[in-house]
Amino acid sequence: MPPRTGTREKKLNTLLVDGNALFKTGFFGASSEFNKDGIHIGGTYQFITVLRKLLTETIYHQVYVFWDGLFSGKLRYNIYEDYKSDRGKDFINGTHTVDQSEANQKLRITKYLDELFIRQIMDEMVESDDYIAYYCKTKKEYETVTICTNDGDMAQLINKGIRIYFCNPQIKNYVTTENFNLYFNYKLENAALVKSMIGDPSDSIRGIKRLGEPTLLKHFPELSKRKVTLEEILIKADKLQEDRKQVKKKPLGVLSNIIEGVTTTKPDEDGKSHDLVMGMELYNRNWKLVNLKEPMMTEEGLEQLELYLDAPLSPEGRSIKNVYTLMKEDGLDWLIGERRFAEYLIPFKKLMERELKNNK
């Protein structure tokens, strides 16, 4: 699918939402938010409220929410069987352990989004961050993209015309090429390299043994100053070890691990390691897993994306009244406050009006 072209808007602002990331941030972060009947609605409330905040701060011409499907992550699992092994997913049998309240709230959110003229895209095997990465890779030249996520891996997508609103409490702000180093300790250009070396515990990707971000930056401070290659890191690690030998110091184990590409191991029931790769095989594998500049897509996923790109949404059956009804049913009106309710919906009404205009 080639880069997209078109002239629908001379200026086009697009919001891309990592649906699972935003939902989980709200579901677990707003665990004390209940409606008047004592039913937990924190995930729904926070999702809609953060979305409202973004729509209030910038005029967006179109909004996409990308969801993970049942088998999302399978493409990386085929490369690395421990991928997301702590997420309750069974890639072989196609099962996923989910809390019932979590499932119910996520389903309700999809109904809200459908009423609000917000496009939702999901493929059973493509992950939401790959969808977002592919969209950014093929965006229009005059298009400005904002990504909403809590996933630090996606920082590597930041570029001219692409910013990220990190919805996690640690940042909770827009990150751009200009302010990137206020939030991250390395250069933007090194984001994927750093992640491929230290791994990603949240996705069960093991990195170099004993190597964390502070240790990596301590020995290789150039990562925070300029673009660095893995080859440079390996050459310098070898030199640092040689320098230590010259002054009769013991070699550092972490530097040896970097040079040899030694990862942490996870023994199975027989005491054997799950992870037998070392050296460049390890680095190459981790690079494939974390590098979003080359998103993992399927033909079906691309077809799904193409179906919704710039396509007008039919107004039939959609209305702000339906949104109000959903909120009344869930008790969101009680949580928001009756007096604030009309004001609360204004940003959504404006988005709906823009979509209705595009439909004519």
Q: List the structure tokens of 126.
A: 């493509």
- Give the span between the Cα atoms of 167 and 172, in whole angstroms: 5
Among the listed residues 255, 219, 198, 22, the one whose alpha carbon sits nearest the alpha carbon of residue 30: 22
Question: Tell me, what's the pLDDT at 92?
Answer: 67
pLDDT digits (tens, 9 = 90+) for 121-157: 999 999 999 999 999 999 999 999 999 999 999 999 9
Full set of structural domains in the chain with CATH:
12-185+295-359 (3.40.50.1010), 193-290 (no CATH)
Banded pLDDT at 359 (limits 50, 70, 90) = low
Question: Tell me, what's the pLDDT at 156?
Answer: 96
- Give the span between the Cα atoms of 310 and 274, in whole angstroms: 44
115 pLDDT higher than 90? yes
Q: List the structure tokens of 223.
A: 């990562």
Residue 144: CB partners within 8 Å, gap ≥ 6? 11, 12, 13, 14, 161, 162
Q: List the structure tokens of 164.
A: 């990220």
- Give the span between the Cα atoms of 248 and 239, in whole angstroms: 14
71 pLDDT higher than 50? yes
The average pLDDT across 255-279 equals 74
Question: Tell me, what's the pLDDT at 76?
Answer: 94
Of 43-52, 63-72, 75-84, 92-101, the least confident? 92-101
Contact 178, 164 (CB under 8 A): no
Question: Tell me, what's the pLDDT at 75?
Answer: 94
Beta bridge partners of 268: none
Q: How much is the pTM? A: 0.91
Largest CA distance in the chain: 78
